[in-house]
Chains A and B, each alone.
Chain A
């Protein structure tokens, strides 16, 4: 559902449609996402449109990509240092 919302706003019906779950089950899942602060709802008459609240996801993505770069770079650097250490007969 979050992947669908990442492409833009959707109604509750549109969100539940691709999944083999009942409409009440889809609604429960959407309410849970709203409580978690990941999804916000705009009510326009009888049409409820849902959208992704991107901030927590952006923060999550930024944390993961930043630390992945840090560790991948550092562990490659460790490989080069280990080659030197081993070649030098130390430790």
Chain B
């Protein structure tokens, strides 16, 4: 069911010198998360909540240098220490993607004496897009994914 509803997906891979169990802790322990979990060094993050068990919830708040704040929350779906953690990911208002449920999967595998991390983030459709999906959206997913790479300029020009 979830597979059928999958709309957009991105993957990011990294290799770290640390062992998988250390990387897993950095991904799941509040004190460690607060040391790194931000897109750039001038952003600060607070772990408001983190209940690391299947069905347990987490919530992170971000504070940006322009004084803007953002919050994201979700639920742990799969926890297989130290190799896999899967959780839902939903931005809170007023974020432009607020309320859209997405899924993050992080795989950790021992490689070359360190850890290869493979992150996959999958977005599920909004209600509007679900309606379009019912009318044949599924068959055009590949074109859409391929086209998501076109520049906004090109897309805007043909709007």
Contacts and interface: CB of A to CB of B under 8 A. Distances in A.
Interface stretch (B47-55, B76-84, B135-143): B135-143
Of residues B12, B22, B36, B96, which shows the largest number of chain A Cβ atoms within 10 Å of its Cβ? B36
Nearest to A5: B158
Contacts, number: 150
B39 A69 contact: yes
Interface size bucket, A side? 35 or more
Given A8-B158, A71-B12, A57 B136 contact: no
Contact of B136 (A5, A35, A64, A85): A35
Given A1-B143, A70-B39, A77-B36, A63 B12 contact: no
Contact of A32 (B8, B25, B136, B145): B136
Interface string B11-36: 01010111000110111000010011
A12 interface: no
Nearest to B97: A63
Contacts of B143: 1-2, 33, 38
Contacts of A54: 155-156, 158-159
Interface of A: 1-3, 5-9, 32-33, 35-38, 51-58, 60-64, 66-86, 91
4 shortest interchain CB distances as A-B pairs: A73-B39, A81-B36, A54-B159, A54-B155
